């Protein structure tokens, strides 16, 4: 796996030579104008006491937990009832959101806010390094420490101790390094790193929230139709928020790298449709998350207000041809990919010894495609927001609810979460 990434790293760098695709920098990107407060869940000593440069990442992470439209993601996690699909044996959650009035949704959101408030008392963050953390961003597990709940706490959590989120120390090291790290970098470098830290934090908080709520680490599927490889609630949140799983290509060193997006899908389904696709993200897309205008749109319309980035470069791990297929609408990238390819071919002639990297570069295929084709994913994007965003005609809601379409008792938000 890491060898696969090694090959792709060089190919991306060649395609983005002189940053012609603006994957790393963009002089037209405005500075951040975020001035929001940091959510109390991040008042842990692991953050600003370690480095003041973490402020912007924590502001962004806080925004993901602030707006009602985004907290709707947590409603099934808090109020959904676990059930088993008889056809597939999959455990999944009922979704109490469908067919509810805005006033009812508001009650659920209040319950989610109370639970998140309580999570402040039983959530510990820790930076980790060493063996087993090379490819890790973050992970969550239970922790034997009595939490300091208050009399106004929610009773949402079944687990009575605490939960620990471990974060890769490489992420912190970039902030720490005053000589070559965060402080000395361009705002676009900083945006990419802050985005990675903020989304890692929320990804893990989603796991922590669910683990505390259920009293176990095994996650049922949030929706029955979500990818079956693993329930992965963190991916479910990334899919909800961005319509993709977003990560830097390179995990070998600390700092910021080109970000790639991948549609969240079963591996088998991706393979059956040509292979896993990784699209390079122009830094302009990442930078917009640090602007208040972006958040004003989300407040109004929810996460679908922000369209996906425009793709100009895509890497397909081709199932059929067992090689990287590069798709792009930028003809200039061809020569630089060809150079890598030709060098790998020449190396083979000189020496019979062949590394995985050489093999990948030798076999790479470059194709020019039109822009419209590039924007399409080869697998469907799993449903991002509850149905009520799409259909909630007032005339219909009663009859649908009477049919009890989700098979679950309507939630009782007030009762469930009050002490």
Site of interaction with Zn ion (CB under 5 A): 118, 121, 149, 153
In eight-state DSSP terms, residue 80 is: P
- Placement of tokens 């965060």 in the chain: 182
Question: What is the distance between the alpha carbons of residues 26 and 283, in angstroms, rounded to a whole number?
Answer: 7
Nearer to Zn ion (CB atom), residue 50 or residue 117: 117
**Measured from the CB of residue 22, what is the shortest distance to Zn ion in angstroms?**
45
CB 159 within 8 A of CB 215: yes
Nearer to Zn ion (CB atom), residue 118 or residue 298: 118
CB 258 within 8 A of CB 312: no
**Measured from the CB of residue 117, what is the shortest distance to Zn ion in angstroms?**
7
**Measured from the CB of residue 293, what is the shortest distance to Zn ion in angstroms?**
35
Q: Which residues pair with 317 in a beta bridge?
A: 276, 324
Dihedral in degrees, nearest 10, Cα atoms 145, 150, 156, 160? 20
Nearer to Zn ion (CB atom), residue 71 or residue 361: 71
**Measured from the CB of residue 66, what is the shortest distance to Zn ion in angstroms?**
19
**Measured from the CB of residue 149, what is the shortest distance to Zn ion in angstroms?**
3
Nearer to Zn ion (CB atom), residue 156 or residue 298: 156
Phi, psi of 198 (to 5 degrees): -65, -45
- What b/e string do you get for 249-277 counting C-beta neighbours within 10 Å, with b at 16 or more? bbbeebbbbbbbbbbbbeeeebbebbbbb
Nearer to Zn ion (CB atom), residue 209 or residue 254: 209
Question: What is the distance between the alpha carbons of residues 331 and 312, in angstroms, rounded to a whole number?
Answer: 10
Structure tokens at 386: 């509850």
Nearer to Zn ion (CB atom), residue 155 or residue 375: 155
Nearer to Zn ion (CB atom), residue 151 or residue 218: 151
Structure tokens at 276: 């896993």
**Measured from the CB of residue 147, what is the shortest distance to Zn ion in angstroms?**
6
**Measured from the CB of residue 14, what is the shortest distance to Zn ion in angstroms?**
52
Question: What is the distance between the alpha carbons of residues 163 and 159, in angstroms, rounded to a whole number?
Answer: 9
Nearer to Zn ion (CB atom), residue 90 or residue 117: 117
**Measured from the CB of residue 209, what is the shortest distance to Zn ion in angstroms?**
13
Q: Cβ neighbours of residue 397 under 8 Å, at least 6 residues apart?
A: 99, 101
- Placement of tokens 């963190």 in the chain: 234
């Amino acid at each position: 796996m890491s060898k696969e990434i090694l090959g792709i790293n060089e190919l991306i760098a060649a395609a983005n030579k002189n940053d012609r695709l603006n994957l790393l920098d963009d002089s037209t990107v405005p500075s951040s104008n975020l001035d929001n407060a940091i959510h109390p869940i991040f008042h842990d000593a692991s953050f600003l006491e370690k480095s003041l440069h973490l402020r912007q990442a924590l502001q962004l992470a806080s925004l993901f937990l602030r707006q009602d439209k985004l907290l709707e993601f947590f409603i099934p996690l808090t109020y959904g009832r676990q059930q088993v699909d008889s056809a597939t044996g999959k455990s999944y959650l009922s979704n109490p959101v469908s067919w509810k009035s805005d006033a009812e949704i508001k009650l659920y959101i209040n319950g989610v806010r109370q639970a998140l408030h309580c999570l402040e008392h039983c959530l510990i963050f820790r930076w980790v390094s060493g063996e087993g953390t090379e490819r890790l961003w973050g992970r969550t597990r239970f922790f034997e420490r009595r939490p300091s709940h208050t009399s106004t706490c929610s009773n949402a959590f079944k687990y009575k101790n605490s939960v620990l989120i471990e974060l890769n120390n490489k992420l912190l090291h970039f902030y720490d390094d005053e000589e070559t790290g965060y402080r000395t970098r361009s705002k676009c470098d900083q945006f990419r790193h802050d985005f990675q830290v903020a989304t890692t934090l929320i990804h893990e908080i989603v796991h922590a929230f669910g683990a505390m709520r259920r009293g176990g680490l095994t996650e049922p599927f949030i929706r029955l139709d979500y990818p079956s490889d693993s329930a992965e609630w963190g991916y479910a949140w990334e899919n909800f928020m961005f319509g993709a799983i977003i990560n830097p290509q390179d995990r070998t060193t600390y700092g910021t790298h080109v970000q790639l997006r991948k549609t969240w899908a079963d591996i088998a389904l991706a393979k059956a449709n040509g292979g896993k696709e990784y699209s390079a993200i122009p830094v302009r897309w990442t930078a917009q998350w640090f602007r208040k205008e972006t958040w004003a749109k989300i407040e109004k319309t929810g996460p679908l207000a922000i369209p996906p980035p425009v793709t100009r470069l895509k890497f397909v791990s081709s199932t059929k041809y067992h090689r990287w297929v590069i798709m792009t609408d930028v003809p200039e990238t061809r020569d630089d990919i060809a150079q890598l390819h030709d060098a790998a071919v020449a190396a083979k002639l000189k020496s019979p010894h062949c590394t995985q990297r050489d093999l990948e570069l030798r076999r790479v295929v470059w194709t020019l495609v039109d822009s419209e084709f590039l924007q399409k994913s080869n697998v469907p994007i799993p449903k991002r927001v509850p149905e009520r965003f799409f259909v909630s005609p007032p005339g219909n809601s009663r009859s649908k609810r009477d049919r009890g379409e989700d098979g679950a008792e309507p939630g009782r938000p007030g009762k469930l979460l009050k002490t």
